[in-house]
Amino acid sequence: MNNDIDVKALPTPCYIVDERLLIKNLETLNKVQERTGCNILLALKGFSMFSVFPTVGKYLKGITSSSLFEARLGYERMGKEVHIYAPAYIDEEFDEIVKYCDHIVFNSFDQWKRFKDKVKNAGKKIECGIRVNPEYSEIETPIYNPCYKYSRLGVTLPNFKPDELDGIDGLHFHTMCEQNSDTLERTIKVVDEKFGEYIKKMKWINLGGGHHITRPDYDIETLVKSIMFFKDKYGVDVYLEPGEAIALNTGYLVAKVLDIVNNGMNIAILDTSAACHMPDVIEMPYRPNIIGAGKPEEYPHTYRFGGLTCLAGDIIGDYSFKEPLKPGDRLVFCDMAHYTMVKNNTFNGVNLPSIALYTEKDGIKIVKRFGYEDFEGRLS
């Protein structure tokens, strides 16, 4: 964390995004747009901190959404292109979806047929697409792999209906997760072999998300080559819709030690929770980095970090420190901007972390605090 951010000035727990780091990512993404003429969208599923949407909108073409509510948030808070894809749309919501969206991607030809007339009668131009499943993915975690056996996501080649493409402007595929461009290059080969004759008839192709473009070892040249492959071969516009890559390494979760107990090892109980505030720690699972902490036993004082819920498995990981910890000490978890605020919950009645933003102009600003109303508001 940049040392001009005073961690002690923050309430805990608190997510804080450093706008300077976000801008750095956006500049990297914008360079890809400038070099290739492609369009990059922010996938709100991964990062929906709308107080930075004006900044994101300066660089990217718009957002993509997975639901009516995300579409509305993007429409109202950024006001650029609004795309949507969902495995199925809800009849009662579709009229409102049409109001906010300019691109709608369908998961099946039946869905396309079902909503075709509503699109036609929208009173504005909406470009529609079909999500295809190339049945090729290098993701090894099954819950993140859209190409596993019996996947419901996208149309496979045997199920593809070429005679129902009238009114369809684009094809969409999403088969990656936190991957480099070599994976994209291999995926594109399969997509091209299977769906090339249909891409020919399209205005655009959407390469989905999962591109880890802003990671230091990401190979941007191969990404550029892959985008240009589609543009040159088929004359189509190319969309990318990463979520994680926009917010990667731009934010932190600051928490405090509440108590230290011992049961065969030292266990620190924090005022945050894996289950409530960083669910991917349990779902992926992974062990987030903490500033100043080492691997277990690397430094003299090792602790297991647990959350303040009653869930036995609410464990963040084991860490070691040069000095012993004590109640009141603050901890800074790294890379906590994406898939945190959008996934957190109030399990056990645990409050949600505040949300703060650091900008060059204003320094630290607490943009949101949560309270009892947020817990009560979603119950009855």
Ligand X SMILES: *Cc1c(COP(=O)(O)O)cnc(C)c1O
Q: Which chain residues interact with ligand X by CB under 6 A? A: 43, 45-46, 85, 174, 177, 208-210, 241-245
Strand partners, 315: 306
- Is 134 or 210 the residue whose CB approaches ligand X more closely? 210
Task: Decide whether 41 or 275 has the Cβ nearer to ligand X.
Answer: 41
Contact 316/332 with Cβ under 8 angstroms?
Answer: no
Based on CB atoms, which residue is closest to ligand X, 72 or 256? 72
280 assigned binding-site residue: yes
Encoding tokens for residue 259?
């108590």
DSSP 296: T
Grouping H, G, I as helix, E, B as strand and the rest as coil, residue 290 is strand
CB contact set of 43 (below 8 Å; sequence gap of 6+): 63, 64, 66, 209, 241, 242, 243
72 DSSP assignment: H
Residue 127 in marked binding region:
no
Answer yes or no: are the C-beta atoms of 356 and 17 closer than 8 Å. yes
- Nearest approach, Cβ of 82 to ligand X (angstroms)? 14
Smallest distance from the beta carbon of 366 to ligand X, in angstroms? 26
Rounded to a whole number of angstroms, the minimum distance from the CB of residue 141 to ligand X is 12
Minimum CB separation of residue 25 from ligand X in Å reads 12
Q: How far is the CB of 206 from ligand X (least distance, A)?
A: 8
Helix (H, G, I), strand (E, B) or coil at 269: strand
Using CB atoms, what's the residue nearest to ligand X?
209
What lies within 8 Å, CB to CB, of 307 at 6+ separation is 269, 270, 272, 273, 274, 275, 276, 277, 314, 315, 316, 350
Residue among 43 and 293 whose Cβ is closer to ligand X? 43
Q: Can you list the positions of beta strands (E) in the chain?
A: 14-18, 39-43, 62-65, 81-85, 103-106, 127-131, 168-172, 204-206, 237-240, 251-262, 266-270, 301-306, 315-321, 330-334, 354-359, 363-368
Least separation, in Å, of the C-beta of 193 and ligand X? Answer: 22
**Closer residue to ligand X, CB minimum distance, 29 or 119:** 29
Nearer to ligand X among residue 177 and residue 316 (C-beta): 177
43 or 132, CB closer to ligand X? 43
User: Closest Cα partner for 53 from 216, 173, 61?
Assistant: 61
**Amino acid residing at 33:** Q
* 363: its two tokens: 């320094």
Which amino acid, residue 106? F
Q: How far is the CB of 251 from ligand X (least distance, A)?
A: 14
Q: Which residues are annotated as a binding site?
A: 244, 280
Q: Which residues are annotated as a binding site for substrate?
A: 244, 280
